[in-house]
Amino acid sequence: MSDRPAPPARSEPREIVELRRLKEEQPDLGAAIDLQIELLQLQRRVQSRVTLPSIRLETEYLNSQLAKGPILQFEHLPIDWSDVRFLLRATASAMRTHDAIEDSDLRRIDALGRDASRLPVVLRSWYDAARPGGSAIDPDGVGLESVLQQAMRPILTRCADAILARTDLAAWRHHICPLCGGEPDLAVITPAAERLLICGRCAAKWVFDQISCPYCLNDDRSKITSLASRDGRYRLSCCESCMRYIKAYDARRVGRHVMPPVDGVATLPLDAAAIQRGYQ
């Protein structure tokens, strides 16, 4: 037996470190946290080899595209189909293990991953469905949106990083993502008291009105209900008009930056409270 100290743990990404800390604080969230850690590890395996999007990465060009609407089109995505098939299967199987999807969903993803002609069609329909003027998602993708979203995350976040670093978002005040056209699923309130929306697909952040509902654009204060977590770290804005809600991380209260994979899990109790009140 050697009494040498154990080697230091390989340095983990901050999001995973935060998730482990959260699990100690809130053991009730353990299952959701384990799943999130597994998904992050999976996404990191692929992320490092995702190439740049096939779009001219010049500020003037990107700004001119933004003036017409969300910049990133499906054909710009640097898709390696064997990576996508791997991500789909591994994501679905992790989600199944943690009871986040049904057995039948796992089988559908398996079938989709094996169908080289259907997969691009379904993926494109999922991507375009959220965009302005987009049509409905292909029936083969219906109900699998959460798997597709997680699986495409390494590609979409990579594109967002590359493009948004070279784009001026100052004029973008819309409720949808300037990059992929997706909906926000989280917000952050900055120390300057601005509200930034965060895309649920590519994690792009952009400034949005502090009050308005980002789903139906209702801006009547009397029709927005706010709830806060006990520690004041998170807030909910619930819209009485469309009955949807958005969660926000209040960065004025805490020292760290917003981390969507962490804050999304940390706010699951707030989701439950909102759903109990009839919001969706």
Nearer Cβ to Zn ion, position 87 or 199? 199
Q: CB-based contacts of 149: which residues, under 8 Å, 6+ apart?
A: 200, 201
Task: Please state the closest distance from residue 34 (CB atom) to Zn ion, in A.
Answer: 26
Instruction: Please report whether residue 225 would count as binding Zn ion according to CB under 5 A.
Output: no
E strand or H helix that includes residue 246: strand 245-250
Least distance to Zn ion from the beta carbon of 241, Å?
5
Stretch of residues binding Zn ion (CB under 5 A), selected from 34-42, 84-92, 175-183, 254-262: 175-183
| Amino acid symbol at 171 | A
Q: Which is nearer to Zn ion, 34 or 161 (CB)?
A: 161
Among 113, 154, 182, 260, the residue binding Zn ion under the rule CB under 5 A is: 182
Closest CB 27 distance from Zn ion, rounded Å:
33
Query: Rounded to the nearest 5°, which phi and psi values hold at 224?
Result: -120, 120
Q: Binding of Zn ion at residue 238 (CB under 5 A)?
A: no
213 binds Zn ion, rule: CB under 5 A: yes
C-alpha to C-alpha distance for 191 and 256, rounded to whole angstroms: 11
**Rule CB under 5 A: is residue 163 a binding residue for Zn ion?**
no
DSSP-H helix ranges across the chain = 14-25, 30-47, 59-66, 81-97, 103-114, 118-129, 145-164, 260-266, 268-276
SS3 224: strand
Q: What's 127-146 look like in SS3?
A: HHHCCCCCCCCCHHHCCCHH
Q: Which of 169, 216, 228, 268 binds Zn ion (CB under 5 A)?
A: 216
Regarding 180 and contact with Zn ion (CB under 5 A), the answer is yes
Q: Which residue has the tokens 């204060």?
A: 221
Q: How far is the CB of 244 from Zn ion (least distance, A)?
A: 5
Question: Site for Zn ion (CB under 5 A): which residue of 239, 248, 262, 270?
Answer: 239
258 binds Zn ion (CB under 5 A): no
Question: For binding to Zn ion (CB under 5 A), which residues are involved?
Answer: 177, 179-180, 182, 199, 201-202, 204, 213, 215-216, 218, 239, 241-242
